[in-house]
Amino acid sequence: MKLLLGTLLLAVTSLSAYDYALKPVRITSDVHCFFGKPEIMDKTNNGNIVNSCYIDAGEGYVVVDTGPSYAYAESAHKAMKKIKSLPVKLVINTHIHDDHWLGNNYFTEQGIKVLGSDDFKVNADMSIPTRMQTYISAEAYASTVPTLPTEMISSDTTLSVGNQTLELKIAKHKAHTAKDMVVYLPKSKVLIAADLVFNDRLPSVRGGDINGWLSALDDLDTLKAEHVVGGHGNRTDKDAAQMTREYFTQMRSEIRAAIADGLSIDETIKKVSMDKYKKYKLYEGTHRHNVESSYRVLEWE
């Protein structure tokens, strides 16, 4: 009787756990990714606004970014096991924004190593509630315990996991964040560029640096990847970074011209409206802040 009750309790608990019902998209034979919605996190999407990927390394998976919650990480892993039931060998966090790594403890409680840059030591403030804890539902956030990478690196690193070589490259300058890391797979020419690449929605440079970001995109071009997966947006061809690059290139040019003409920051925000980008998601909540942040960087050139 006790065994039966325990089994029933476990079944009820499993049924009550939040499931994001994630569906992986095949990028190549050895890379599948999950694509989030071009939205702000809320209690409807529950933080499913971010892209994350699974790399098949033969003997197991390498996970790049664990998403906004424990439940997200669990849902993604469950979906991938339907494709191929492999253990997870390694997890990589690309940068410190919490929509990309709050699923870490799903893996660390299984003893799986999580690798990130040493920026987590400096800029991840664990003393305050995360954005996800504030904005998504309690049900979706349940079981999430903010957990930093278990191992951190400070420079470019090449790893071998199973049949895969992974080239981890850290942007040379502040870009989207102080230290943005990408993962390049030379075997399949896949670049997981995380938040250095946006499409479908506008990128956000607030807290970053427009010059460093454009420089980082130039560096990524040298890899000549055939498939580029950004942190937000569904485009994954070799030109997936095109919108991000063109947007920031035009913005920088127009802000520099405004500064040369002696315009104040408020005047520049009004002038640099870049109307052709209004068709992209989150223009209203993002573009103004991008101009303001970039003006503060460019006025000191």
Give the span between the Cα atoms of 136 and 172, in whole angstroms.
33
Q: In this structure, are residues 224 and 189 in contact, taking their beta carbons and an 8 Å threshold?
A: yes
Q: Closest Cα partner for 117 from 187, 169, 195, 75?
A: 169
Quote the pLDDT of residue 179.
97
Give the span between the Cα atoms of 161 and 271, in whole angstroms.
50
Give the span between the Cα atoms of 44 and 62, in whole angstroms.
29
Quote the pLDDT of residue 3.
41
Quote the pLDDT of residue 127.
84
What single-letter amino acid sits at 64?
Answer: V
Query: Quick one: CA dihedral 269, 270, 271, 272, positive or negative?
Result: positive
Give the span between the Cα atoms of 145 and 153, in whole angstroms.
22
Exposure of 9 in the CB half-sphere (CA atoms within 13 A): 6
Q: In this structure, are residues 120 and 151 in contact, taking their beta carbons and an 8 Å threshold?
A: no
**88-92/61-64 β-pairing:** parallel
Provide the residue-wise pLDDT of the chain in tens; the chain has 301 residues.
444 434 333 333 444 479 999 999 999 999 999 999 999 999 999 999 999 999 999 999 999 999 999 999 999 999 999 999 999 999 999 999 999 999 999 999 999 999 999 999 999 888 888 999 999 999 999 999 999 999 999 999 999 999 999 999 999 999 999 999 999 999 999 999 999 999 999 999 999 999 999 999 999 999 999 999 999 999 999 999 999 999 999 999 999 999 999 999 999 999 999 999 999 999 999 999 999 999 999 999 9
Quote the pLDDT of residue 16.
40
Give the span between the Cα atoms of 135 and 120, in whole angstroms.
22
What structural domains and CATH numbers belong to the chain? 24-239 (3.60.15.10)
For the record, the structure tokens of 211 come out as: 């010059």
